[in-house]
Structure 1
């Protein structure tokens, strides 16, 4: 009688251990150093083009890692850059593309009602391979396409660090 009970207990403990191991995720995330580098490069690119912007980089959970606001960037750009980054992260799609999709597809029009979303260009996912590890949002250039262009150029500069 003791042997079957011991065997059952051992099997149960083995399954419990496997279940606990399976409950943990190993996820890559953008580091503070890389987020700061990306934001600095983006600011430099935008300023070289004559744009006063705010740049926000969020991690894979949508939590702010860094924010840089240039002198003379409008006060609205702080929240806008955060929301663009959050939109790009949440959808794993550039925020300008999300805006276009919502305009073309009536069923997607309600995306604008999701708290924290901003359907304007300037938010770009940060990917390591196919894995989204964060996002960048830029606001303040005279057009979301220009915000996105600054972010995309900066991402191109750091692509070797995203492997």
Structure 2
């Protein structure tokens, strides 16, 4: 069944796209909720006319999307997560956490346009952000252990403190003899 989409649907298509879907999905979900209409010949003609009239608006939307993409070109995220001893995260790092980290950096990105697999291990990954159907940005995401740097620092300081504490004790012991 061919459907003309009336709004962007993640994983299916963008507004004004003609997509093929299973009959039940189109008949029971897309059409009743107003997210799509049947792509009849007359509906296709209306769509073509509307696209001609909206060409300059679509160009402006694409330019705005390219501006947002340019702002994120050099951004790389580092997300700290609680990690077990084997390097597996407790839970997972997902698009919502990536969106939250971007918001901390001053980029207000909707989590729904971020496409990535849930991350369950420490390492380097890539998240794709779709601003427009022709504009997408790949964002490097590095997942690190939340407590790893903190554990190493005290471990290195502890032997120095123990040696410093033992030195006066040895001097006292020699003085007592």
Structure with larger RCO (C-alpha < 8 A, sep 6+): 1
When normalised by structure 1's length, the TM-score is 0.25
When normalised by structure 2's length, the TM-score is 0.24
- Larger Cα-atom Rg: 2
Is the strand fraction higher in 1 or 2? 2
